[in-house]
Copies of this chain bind each other. A is one copy, B any other.
Amino acid sequence: MEKLMFQNGVKKDQLLSAVNDDHGGVIVEFKEPMDPIVFQNMLKASLSKWRLQGKKGVWIKLPIECVNLVETAVEEGFWYHHAEPHYLMLVYWIPKTENTIPANASHRVGIGAIVLNDKRELLVVQENCGRLKGTAVWKIPTGVVEEGEDIFEGAIREVKEETGIDTEFLEVLAFRQTHKALFEKSDLFFICMMRPLSFDIQKQDLEIEAAQWMPIEEYEAQPFVQKHVLFKYIVDLCLTKAERGYPGFTPVPITSFFDAGASFLYLNNDGLNDENSAAHL
């Protein structure tokens, strides 16, 4: 290809470096800032080439230090796909057909941890912040599962952070899906049964006003619990699990079906495997 010079000295055929994705598209990842005019010329030339190559989706990942290139990308037809504190992902669809760009993450994932000791006492906290601040309501430890964290890991971490108690994860007893929890995003909240491995409470000061082991009847008797269906379900699930063996889901490691890494399948493994005992029921 002949190298044409632009007035600003940028060669017309200088292209953005891109790697192919698994779906017939390309990904451009910026590491360092660039002049917007240089970027615009390279982007136009690159899009022409990718169009000729029959590429489909084009992803541009701009670290926040490259914020000066966002406007140019949008001028060239890109739109936002997702953003995290340190970067913005833009996307463009070359073919004339309807785009098959995958949807952005839509859910936050939270956990509530039921930690019951041998005296039928529940591990409960009062919060310093959030909507229950100042209400003196005792609740189970809750928290948000972090990026890349397994649900059971998040439950163990949150209990440890808020109360200092070490726990073993037993089962997911139930989960709740809500919508518009944060702006337009949805929320999945997993109610987890945990076994305490230590008993001396060391509460965290930033978010937790107080923490204690509380007889479950005392927890249940709180007017707030009586008024809120989810809180009542937590009592029922806890007691049913403790007394009658309610069937929850336990995490089983499986190799992921396309990827190399392991992931966890949450299911009733006893109900699946124990053919003999099931046949006797």
Measured CB to CB, the residues of A under 8 A from B are: 22-23, 64, 67-68, 70-71, 74, 79-89, 98, 100, 102-109, 129-131, 144-148, 150-151, 173-180, 182-186, 188, 206, 228-231, 233, 236-237, 240, 244, 246-249, 254-259, 261, 263-268, 271-272, 275, 278-279, 281
B230 near A265: Cβ-Cβ < 8 Å: yes
Interface centre among A248, A249, A257 (most CB of B within 10 A): A257
Given A102-B108, A104-B105, A230-B257, 6 more contacts at CB 8 Å? A64-B74, A105-B105, A173-B267, A177-B264, A237-B267, A244-B278
B109 and A108: CB pair below 8 A?
A: no
Q: With A106-B147, A236-B272 in contact, do A175 and B74 touch (Cβ < 8 Å)?
A: no
B86, B107, B271: the one within 8 Å of A105 (CB): B107
For the complex, give the distance between the alpha carbons of A110 and B151 in Å.
Answer: 16
- CB-nearest residue of chain B to A130: B23
Q: Which of B80, B107, B255 contacts A87 (CB 8 A)?
A: B80
* CB neighbours of A22 from chain B (8 A): 131
